[in-house]
A and B are shown apart, each in its own frame.
Chain A
Amino acid sequence: DQQVKQNSPSLSVQEGRISILNCDYTNSMFDYFLWYKKYPAEGPTFLISISSIKDKNEDGRFTVFLNKSAKHLSLHIVPSQPGDSAVYFCAACRQLQGAQKLVFGQGTRLTINP
């Protein structure tokens, strides 16, 4: 029962161009969504989040878009930089009985080519 899916295991983008990472979910009860970036042998680092009542949130080079009717969100990185090369995880959160469980996608490995 994969409630959060990232269908692209990998993505390769040229430096300076836009990177678009996609994520689909099935549970309409999620309260908000997050993107994490992960380097090898390190823990996930929080990047940006969006509440389920919004459709866009922007922070510097990172923008997250949420399409609730399609149960789809995407992360845009522009311009892409070599340091952006990492695995990106989409996560969805539903607060239930005081718990804030994150449900993660499988991740997308982003490679930025010089």
Chain B
Amino acid sequence: NAGVMQNPRHLVRRRGQEARLRCSPMKGHSHVYWYRQLPEEGLKFMVYLQKENIIDESGMPKERFSAEFPKEGPSILRIQQVVRGDSAAYFCASSPSTGSNQPQHFGDGTRLSIL
């Protein structure tokens, strides 16, 4: 009865390195969303994916950020050449469909710290 699983829970990177964040949706859920939360702010939408497809990436920075949700395995949010401003909590959510009243269920997040 696992919920949305994210790993790692904490990730420390130096400026210029790459960060890879993983998300396994709830069983039976085929829709994955990534959100970013800066300190003392609400969550901001980044990208919405279904298996092997990016449906909406309007909230994701055009450079250095990419996301995928392969046919097998978890969804990956990848940040290349990280900068200090990338320090945040990154949350993944999943839902079974896009129908109304299908709430998204969130993982516990990955806290990314850039040194």
Contacts and interface: CB of A to CB of B under 8 A. Distances in A.
Interface residues of A, number: 28
Interface string A45-63: 1100101000000000000
Q: Name the 10 nearest CB pairs between A and B, nearest first.
A: A104-B42, A43-B106, A99-B56, A46-B103, A43-B108, A104-B43, A101-B45, A99-B48, A100-B98, A106-B42
B55 A99 contact: yes
Contacts of B103: 34, 46, 49
Interface string B84-115: 00000001010100101111111111000000
A98 B98 contact: yes
23 contacts: A41-B108, A43-B91, A43-B109, A44-B91, A46-B103, A49-B101, A89-B43, A95-B100, A96-B56, A98-B55, A98-B56, A99-B55, A100-B33, A100-B102, A101-B33, A101-B45, A102-B43, A102-B45, A102-B104, A104-B42, A106-B40, A106-B42, A107-B41
